[in-house]
Structure 1
Amino acid sequence: MSAVKFDEGRLMQILLAPIVSEKATAVAEKHNQVLFKVLRDATKPEIKAAVELLFKVEVDKVSVVNVKGKTKRFGGRLGRRDHVRKAYVCLKPGQELNFSGEAA
């Protein structure tokens, strides 16, 4: 696998959280993709290696989107939400991701 050339400690920190929303569910059903919130400096090869290492699945490709944080008002002051980097991870045909941690 491609996880050999990366530091395993770094790979364990790349994926911050899965994104569970209506859009993420629709993408998962239609294109066999899973969405993750990842570190802002994570690269596509690192994301691929991290998913393969943590979930023991084969990844076909990775697409990333950088989302700028919205400017919001907090009380009387202006503030900004954090910037987010999302990773659309496309799994190879026949692969399935199980978030419960149980082996199939």
Structure 2
Amino acid sequence: MKDLYQVIKTIRLSERATILGERNNEYVFVVDPRANKIEIKQAVEKLFGKTVLDVRTMNYAGKKKRERRADFGRTNHWKKAIVKLKAGESIDLV
């Protein structure tokens, strides 16, 4: 994983992600499932120019679709990363 834009796909805006940002200075990103914590930390520091203190990751399995038929599919598996920034730093989301 060398390209920064392949490591971080998008920022995840939800109610819980907003609360984490306001209370704990943490931001939630959807990242490549093959990316590790070191690559995620380096990508956030280079793209946003901020100091990262901690990275937590979670893997999510894709959900089944059309389960009542014989030919069902599934949505893609994805990975979420919660990144904690140094006190006093923030990422402008708007």
**TM-score, normalization: structure 2?**
0.89
Q: Which residue of 2 aligns with 1:89?
A: 83
Report the Cα distance in structure 1 between the residues aligned to 2:22 and 2:65, rounded to whole angstroms.
Answer: 33
Quote the RMSD (CA, aligned, Å).
1.8
Runs of 4+ off more than 2 Å:
74-77
Q: Specify every segment of 5 or more residues in structure 1 that has no aligned partner in the other structure, as ranges.
A: 1-5
Q: Between the two proteins, what is the percent identity of the paired residues?
A: 39
CA distance in 2, matches of 1:75, 1:62: 39
Deviation of the 1:15 alpha carbon? 0.4
Number of the residue aligned with 2:64: 71
**Structure 2, unaligned stretches of length 5 or more?**
none
Q: 2:21 matched to 1:28?
A: yes
Aligned residue for 1:99, secondary structure, equals: coil
* Deviation, structure 1 residue 13: 1.8
Provide the aligned length of Structure 1 versus Structure 2.
93
Q: Higher helix share goes to which structure?
A: 1
